[in-house]
């Protein structure tokens, strides 16, 4: 095949002009704390980043946090780290999805500048022996059913805050109790970080988006929508039932679906997360559930206000 000289020159000029733009990416992946610190220093934004900690297997729920962070901060750091100390079930840790390559592709479209994806030895060069005390906050719901879970969350988030030194950090209301724990930890340790809560993003069926949804079969995923549908209905029914009647109704309605088994369904106040006895106190109330769909444990909640 003969290549016309004019066309060849034209193609070369285009290549030389455009190649650097294709090759250059504005998002940097760092693997070590040293690299992270050096990127933050050279950005001129050290100490003022927006930060989104995640365990990867990213979906639109995560991306909504990142997008909010990008809107509100000159520099955004996203961490991807499956934290072993917050898993009380080794099988859950083993099967947790790890999809770094596709996560990076998704993050590129958000405009975040730094992705920190360290190895376990980078975060835990030695075992973390710290024990946090969250009083009653971690004695209920997730704390009660997943012993040690929130201690592990506090260990990793406090370390990540120390490494990233963010001004603002973004957390989803999907993990309602986790948000309360993080706020309490920030106060206990006097950390200069503003915690920004972000709304739950749901699939079209209403199912709360979660990395664990990827572990469900198609049939399980369809049936898991019963969880959120029951929460939405419960919000409507709250004027007709007492608190305990409504908790019972939620449990029974979800359990009627043969794919689902409720671990807990509790109505709690939105600050100390203590069980609510009546509708008449002045607290804002949240209905929180944990439900097994086959082997996969899903959580969801809805705020009544």
| Interface contacts to ligand AMP, rule CB under 6 A | 54-55, 61-62, 64-65, 171-172, 174-175, 198, 200-201, 208-211
Buried b (16+ CB within 10 A) or exposed e, 29-54: ebeebebbeebbeebebeeebbbbbb
* SS3 (DSSP) at 305: coil
* Residue 64 vs 110, nearer CB to ligand AMP: 64
* Residue 53 vs 246, nearer CB to ligand AMP: 53
Min. distance of Cβ 22 from ligand AMP in angstroms?
30
Min. distance of Cβ 252 from ligand AMP in angstroms?
26
Whether 62 is a known active-site residue: answer yes
Q: Which of 59, 62, 145, 282 is catalytic?
A: 62
Tokens describing residue 241: 């039932």
Tokens describing residue 144: 């009660």
Torsional sign, CA 82, 218, 208, 304: negative
* Residue 134 vs 176, nearer CB to ligand AMP: 176
* Residue 149 vs 276, nearer CB to ligand AMP: 149
Q: Which residue is nearest to ligand AMP (CB)?
A: 172
Beta-carbon contacts of residue 56 (< 8 Å; ≥ 6 apart): 80, 81, 82, 97, 98, 99, 100, 103, 117, 211
Min. distance of Cβ 2 from ligand AMP in angstroms?
55
Buried b (16+ CB within 10 A) or exposed e, 195-206: bbebebbbbeeb
Min. distance of Cβ 25 from ligand AMP in angstroms?
23
> Counting Cβ atoms within 10 Å, is residue 220 exposed (0-12), middle (13-18) or buried (19+)?
middle
* Residue 39 vs 153, nearer CB to ligand AMP: 153
Min. distance of Cβ 207 from ligand AMP in angstroms?
9
Strand pairing report for 114-116 and 296-304: unpaired
Residues known to be catalytic: 62
């Amino acid at each position: 095949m003969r290549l016309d000289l004019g066309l060849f020159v034209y193609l070369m000029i285009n290549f030389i002009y455009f190649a650097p733009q294709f090759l250059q990416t504005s998002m940097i992946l760092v693997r070590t704390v040293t690299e992270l610190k050096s990127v933050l220093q050279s950005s001129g934004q050290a100490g003022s980043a927006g930060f989104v900690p995640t365990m990867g297997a990213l979906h639109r729920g995560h991306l909504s946090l990142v997008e909010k962070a990008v809107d509100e901060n000159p520099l955004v750091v996203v961490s991807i780290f499956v934290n072993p100390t917050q898993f009380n079930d080794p099988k859950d840790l083993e099967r947790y999805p790890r999809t770094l390559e596709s996560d990076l592709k998704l993050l590129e479209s958000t405009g975040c500048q730094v992705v920190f994806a360290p190895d376990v030895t980078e975060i835990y060069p030695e075992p973390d022996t710290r024990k946090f005390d969250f009083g009653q906050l971690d004695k209920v719901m997730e704390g009660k059913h997943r012993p040690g879970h929130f201690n592990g969350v506090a260990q990793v988030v406090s370390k990540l805050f120390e490494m990233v030194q963010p001004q603002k950090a973004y957390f989803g209301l999907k993990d309602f109790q986790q948000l309360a724990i993080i706020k309490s930890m920030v106060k206990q340790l006097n950390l200069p970080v503003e915690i920004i809560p972000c709304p739950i993003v749901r699939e079209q069926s209403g199912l709360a988006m979660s990395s664990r949804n990827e572990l469900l079969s198609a049939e399980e995923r369809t049936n898991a929508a019963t969880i959120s549908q029951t929460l939405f209905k419960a919000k409507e029914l709250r004027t007709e039932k007492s608190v305990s009647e409504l908790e019972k109704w939620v449990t029974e309605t979800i359990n009627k679906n043969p794919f689902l088994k409720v671990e807990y369904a509790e109505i709690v106040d939105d600050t100390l997360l203590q069980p609510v006895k009546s509708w008449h106190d002045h607290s804002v109330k949240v209905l929180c559930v944990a439900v097994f769909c086959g082997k996969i444990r899903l959580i969801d909640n809805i705020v009544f206000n």
